[in-house]
Amino acid sequence: MNTLLLLILKIAVSVAFLSTGVAKLMKARPMVNQFHEFRLPLEIMYLIGVLEVVGAAALWYAPMSLWVFSCLGCLMAGAIKSHFDAKHAIGSMLPSVILLGLCIAGALLDGWLN
């Protein structure tokens, strides 16, 4: 049962990070606008996009998945801080908060099972 839960978490987290990472790398207008609101250069958006895509793939390499969940969680903690700094509404932070929770759950479950 726990192995199935970890599989579901990996699927959810990897799909979410792959889609947002690709959106950043393709300069999707909402992403570009958001980084302007964060007052971050577009180079940072590209770097984060690469990290998200690589992280989505690396989750499937079992010896690294605990660390990947942790690193992706750190990215989400940074995203939440950026939303706070930009004075965004709580609703716009919700995806980052949910992904942070999923990353924490994945890291804890992965560490417990392996």
> What does the pLDDT profile of the chain (114 residues) look like in tens digits?
789 999 999 999 999 999 999 999 999 999 999 999 999 999 999 999 999 999 999 999 999 999 999 999 999 999 999 999 999 999 999 999 999 999 999 999 998 887
Check residue 33 and give its pLDDT: 96
Check residue 114 and give its pLDDT: 75
Check residue 96 and give its pLDDT: 97
Whole-number Å distance between alpha carbons of 56 and 13: 7
Check residue 55 and give its pLDDT: 98
Check residue 112 and give its pLDDT: 87
Tokens of 103: 């990353």
Check residue 47 and give its pLDDT: 98
Q: Are 69 and 111 in contact (CB under 8 A)?
A: no
Check residue 78 and give its pLDDT: 97
Number of other residues whose CB lies within 10 A of the CB of residue 72: 27
Check residue 2 and give its pLDDT: 84
Whole-number Å distance between alpha carbons of 75 and 78: 5
Q: Are 83 and 63 in contact (CB under 8 A)?
A: no
H helical segments located in 26-64 = 29-37, 42-58
Q: What is the dihedral of CA 93, 44, 27, 58, to 10 degrees?
A: -80
